[in-house]
Structure 1
């Protein structure tokens, strides 16, 4: 069928149905993850912090059986699995963990997903905090740093702002 059991796949869902699809998948005992980020909405008379999807219309689904693969697609709001050519888009457990850490860290702000790969930037390693050990690409430097964490299997980049003090040169391994 083109998928492997125990892997994370990307389910494309109707616009603004990410949380609902995630809830329905959990109700069907299917592990799912729809990364949400806090953002401030500005109206003319007030500001409000709201949750919005990091990657609009995407829900990550862990497929543990052939039945899960079909059941996930039959949930109200689910449209199709994302594919790259003949292959279903897969995301590793490590990449899912990176996204969870990134969106769950209070010192990391301005988190955005970007499907474009930047051409320039230094590679750094985060040396402090819960993201310690993560390599990233610097996009900006003004006492704060915009970093890029690549989720290669999705051809996706996640951009966030972290304090400069969190960064160091990565250790070069001589092979």
Structure 2
């Protein structure tokens, strides 16, 4: 079998990732006008004889796999009217913009919608080492601490009613 046309059959669910294992020598694959969902499997890129790939009018989401650039024989391609997002891969930008329309979050050539640049911020946190040098306690603070201890002890021992709330 070299051609498979399953268009307009109300098929649903995701496509298997290993689709190329089952259809390795296929040249024309038309899965349009169904209800396929999930991401377009990158495994389609292993279908090296593929000339035509129609996936329009489905419910695919996510990005168009960049691996599709491996399909050197691809002459007809359409993913219009899905829920795809992100930039159109460079290797597919030669196809008409109509083959990508109807995907509100798809951007880049050949579409008129420019892709927003995403900024990645990397924060490098270096551990901070704090060196504390202990200094000798001077005589004045030693005398103050001792006097406070004695006064507290006397008040607690001779006047306990002051401390009871």
Name the TM-score, length of structure 2 as normaliser: 0.22
Larger RCO (alpha carbons 8 Å, 6+ apart): 1
The structure with the greater share of residues assigned to helix is 2
| Higher Cα radius of gyration | 2
Name the TM-score, length of structure 1 as normaliser: 0.21
The structure with the greater share of residues assigned to strand is 1
